[in-house]
Structure 1
């Protein structure tokens, strides 16, 4: 209604409606309601463990004037939202014409990524917030609801991949809403989907990987993609591998490559496969029954991983992301 009245008044006052009723660029602080789940089983069953959580977010628009903006939700690392990382990439996305939404899932719950890492509900809060943000943006008249993408870094990269699973989407969004595209910067490689038709939402997924990332050996992703192909249910996943890149290559504070022994890593663990039935483990190219004791043991055997900033790889991976989003969300 507002836009109709604005167009009518503009045509009367200016003789034309063009250029006078477009959405204006700017920044706004918004909030949305999300939920907390104790583990992935509770999320898939819709059993939230607490009352609603209020998440404070920043919605920013590019300088270009448009009726509606394609939008990217940006999910943070284990360290939470930081201007130097998530804020920097969001600004680059806005230069390319995308609106951006940023927030901190950990601070919204009064905790930190360090405190949550390795717990059963570690990733579920991120996925819940991503879909809550999608529902909010889909109702905003300034946003092109059919072109909302999700990207993330490390922790957020796992969230971005998980959000592409149909079992997760349908548990958190009863309607048809889905993300138009997913981008994972240096994911941890904890979850995959059981190989079967319809396991993914159908939206394209881009995994950005470093060949020096000792938190996610490339062979782990290669074996997963081979598994789903062999089962006749290939995942809609593209990969880009950056030579010489370590985990967290976009984080400028990590000026020197260093090993962080206290961080939880699943590098020696098989992928947990999610599907409509019980979770499984990807072992020797096959889905085997999930064994929580065995998984806990593999977590304990090889903690820690290396991290290091790389200016050139950051620039290239952002460019690759923008190109992928532009292709994936072309009207």
Structure 2
């Protein structure tokens, strides 16, 4: 007789999201700073978008890239806001399987696009410092549109297979608890009762081919920028040139440090307390959208002035 082969396939209708482990009783209080940070992130980034749109003097490549960065931060915040506040406010932990996959796609998409935009901004700074006279002719509107199209196409092609790779997996009936109040690819695939080698390799490929390459090229860009700046004759010129990069450098650090932290913890930090995983993930998703508008409004006088004019309802110039 032939041996019995179990060909059953289980795919859960929903997952259970986790808030902050060990602090469930304080979720109501914890929701206050979270709600405040989401409000600051959405308000600040929307102000940047309005300021750039209404101020003709800001219709330059650097501020176009900043607008896309702000748009990514808005998208990143809106991707996690409903599920996070549902858990903290209403103790609603259920998210359907397909909603989880959609949230995961948008969450990773906006994150990866932000990484690419930061790379584009480093290229912008390199051209502005190394060839200031050719800046306008190199970074034309057509070039910026092409850069944007390449960024979007790369992220869609990279992330589109992720949902299908998760849908093909067989899941354990009693294993539906996520580690966060939102869906990560690495978090969802760990709930499968199947070989996830392909998913692991796919996740590694996406990280290396997007964030990994972007961060390496940003480092190379700043090495070239530093080489150019050191060739300037006047110390004052060097300081002025580097000062134009401060906002971007801070934005890069605010984004990449949490990204690397999340990636390292998911791969090597399984022994750490669950609260550490949760806090690092929240820092990665909430802090950059909050800090980016603050960084650029403090360090960039044109942006700061344009934002104040938007708040006062004055005509832009």
Question: What TM-score do the two structures reach when normalised by structure 2?
Answer: 0.24
Structure ranking higher in helix proportion: 2
Question: What TM-score do the two structures reach when normalised by structure 1?
Answer: 0.23
Tell me: higher relative CO, structure 1 or 2? Use CA pairs within 8 A at least 6 residues apart.
2
Q: Highest CA radius of gyration, 1 or 2?
A: 2
